[in-house]
Each structure stands twice: as C-alpha cells, then as structure tokens.
Amino acid sequence: MESHLPLATTRCGGVEFRWGERTYVMGILNLSPDSFSGDGVGDNIDAAIAKARRLVAEGADIIDIGGESTRPGSKPISADDELRRVMPVIESLAGKLSVPLSIDTYKSAVASRALEAGATMLNDQWGLKRDLHLAELAAEWGVPLILMSNQRDKGGYDARIQRDTAYYDNPIFEVISSLKISLEMALKSNVPWENIILDPGIGFGKTWQQDLEIIRRLGELRELGRPILIGPSRKSFIGRVLDLPVHDRLEGTAATVAIGIAHGADMVRVHDVQQMVRVCRMSDAVMRGSQIGH
C-alpha cells in the first residue's frame, strides 16, 4: 500500500476535494420506497429534485443518489428497476446544481448510464466485490470511486481474509483487510490513487458494538493512505445505544460525526445536512483550526 503518500486532491466534476482542509458533507438522496431511514421519495421525481436542491442550499458538498435500499433484510432489485428510479433524477439535476452528483450503486450497468447522464462519482457499497467493472468505469471516466467494507456476505473475495476470533475482538482488523483487497482491485484496474475514497461500512454486517469500536478506532484506517468517508447517519447502533427510533437519532448522529472527524473522517454521508454541516464546521474549528464558515 502507498500509505506514505499524501492524500492529494480529488477532482470530482467541477469541484476539488482538498483533503485535510475541512470535512466534506455528502447529502443522501434516497429514491427507494423502503429506505431504512424513512426518507425515500420513491417515484416522485419532483420531490426528489426539490430535496436535492434543498440539500445543496443547506450546505451539501455532493449529492449521493441511490435507487436501491440498503437496509438490513431488503431484497435486491434489478438493474432495470434501479435505472428507472435514478435516471430521471440524474438527468434532471446533472449540470444544474452547484455540487456534483454521486451514484450509489454496485451494478456497473447502472453506473455506466449514470455517468453518461452526468454523475461524477461512484459509491460502491460492495467495494468491487460484486462487480469489478465499476473500477473499469471509474478509470475510463476519470471519476472518484468510494470503496466500502461490507461484512453482510462472508463469501467471495472476503473469504481471503483469515477468519478467527481476532475479528470479534478487533473488528477494525477485518475492515482494514477488506478495504486493502478493494483498494488493490481498484489500482489493478487503473483507478488513480487520488480518486479512491474508503468507507469502513458502519452498519453493514457489523454488530452495534463493532460499529462503536470502528468509530472509536477510525484513525487506524489511516494506514491505507486514502481519505475516509463514514456514514453513521440514523443507523441502528445509535438506536441501540439511545433506545430511540430512526426519526429521533439526530443528536446521536451528531455525536458520531464529531467523534469520527476527531479520529480522521474526511467526508460524512448524512441525511440531516443542515445540522451536520454545523457539526462539521465546529469539529473542523477544533481539529483543523478552521475559523470561518465554508
């Protein structure tokens, strides 16, 4: 791994993510009708467009558009169904917002169409382990690629990770091992080093105790040498700790975002953009010495 290298600047559409200067905020735009957070807008294109514009007004640096629910137990949908949900929104928003669009998908068929329509980042919740062609698309289009560590499926590429009791005592071990595999796959597919972003996958196949441990030890991911994205927003581990339903997890999300930034997070993926932008600015003032608004 090239962990000795600086994070460098990642270009995404017409903007630059200058890692280390501040924390960037990714606003979530769920187009699935069964989102775990209850904020999916489904087939209402006008509502989706209005929400995207609101997220930008609230301070989002990028909008992440997803058409398939990632809640535990959700059933996968076909690429055609996913395209039917996301394409009208991407086509309506591309080039009309002041921030870039990311497509949240693990299917290259969806990613290809989204890139053609104007998306400029790929967010792969399976870290290339379901569809390696995503890396080829990222390399071909020169767009950033988010690689996430997903423990919901213990087979496939992650079978290469030695599984023993060390994982349960040290969940960051498996996260780092999984991300190393994804990172190697991306680099072998000619994705530029500076275009790779890593996500430990909070809530994806981990216990709620492991999620807490990963946030507490997030800084250990720095050995991989790439910027870190976290997505703790409204997740079930917050509900377990605070005994609160999804719609009541704002303060818990704020706490995990602030602590994540203190331990090295470079970007946060959130539902409540306005509030989390403020949390990021305050955390950046403490951790990075930022003294003015972004």
pLDDT in tens, 150-208: 987 754 444 445 444 444 568 899 999 999 999 999 999 999 999 999 999 999 889 99
Q: Is 16 exposed, middle or buried (0-12, 13-18, 19+ CB in 10 A)?
A: exposed
pLDDT, position 171: 86
The rounded distance, in Å, linking the Cα atoms of 58 and 257 is: 17
User: Is 72 contained in some domain?
Assistant: yes
Q: Would the pLDDT of 25 be above 50?
A: yes
- How confident is the model over 27-41, as a mean pLDDT? 70
Report if residue 15 sits inside a domain. no
Structural domain total, the chain: 1
Ranges 42-51, 75-84, 138-147, 159-168, most confident: 138-147
Q: Reply yes or no on whether the pLDDT at 293 is more than 80.
A: no
Instruction: Supply the mean pLDDT for the chain.
Output: 90
Which 8-state DSSP code applies to residue 99?
Answer: S
Choice among 85, 129, 249, 269 that is catalytic: 269
Q: Any catalytic annotation for residue 235? A: yes
Backbone angles phi, psi at 197, to 5 degrees: -125, 140
The answer to whether 211 touches 249, Cβ cutoff 8 Å, is no
pLDDT tens by residue, 212-237: 999 999 999 999 999 999 999 999 99
Unique residue bearing structure tokens 């700790």: 241
Q: Domain with 77 in it: what CATH number?
A: 3.20.20.20
pLDDT tens per residue, range 233-285: 999 999 999 999 999 999 999 999 999 999 999 999 999 999 999 999 999 99
Q: Residue 7: pLDDT band by 50, 70, 90 thresholds?
A: confident
Please check whether residue 293 lies inside any domain of the structure: no
197 lies in a domain?
A: yes
Q: Whole-prediction pTM value?
A: 0.90
- What residues have CB less than 8 Å from 137, skipping those under 6 apart? 108, 111, 112, 115, 122, 143
Active-site residue, selected from the candidate residues 113, 235, 249, 281: 235
Decide the pairing of beta strands 145-148 and 196-199. parallel
Task: Name the residue range of residue 281's domain.
Answer: 21-287
Q: Which of 20-34, 52-66, 148-162, 224-238 comes out lowest in average pLDDT? A: 148-162
Query: What are the backbone dihedrals phi and psi of residue 145, each rounded to the nearest 5 degrees, phi first?
Result: -130, 120
Q: Residue 169's pLDDT is what?
A: 62
pLDDT reported for residue 38:
47
Answer whether residue 125 is part of any domain: yes
**Residue 206 catalytic?**
no
Task: At 79, list the tokens.
Answer: 């690429």
CB atoms within 10 A of CB 18: 12
Cβ(158)–Cβ(178) under 8 Å?
yes
Question: Residue 9 domain-assigned?
Answer: no
Query: Does the residue 13 lie in any domain?
Result: no
Q: Identify whether 4 is part of a domain.
A: no
Cα–Cα dist 91/146, whole Å: 22
Whether the pLDDT of residue 17 is over 50: the answer is yes
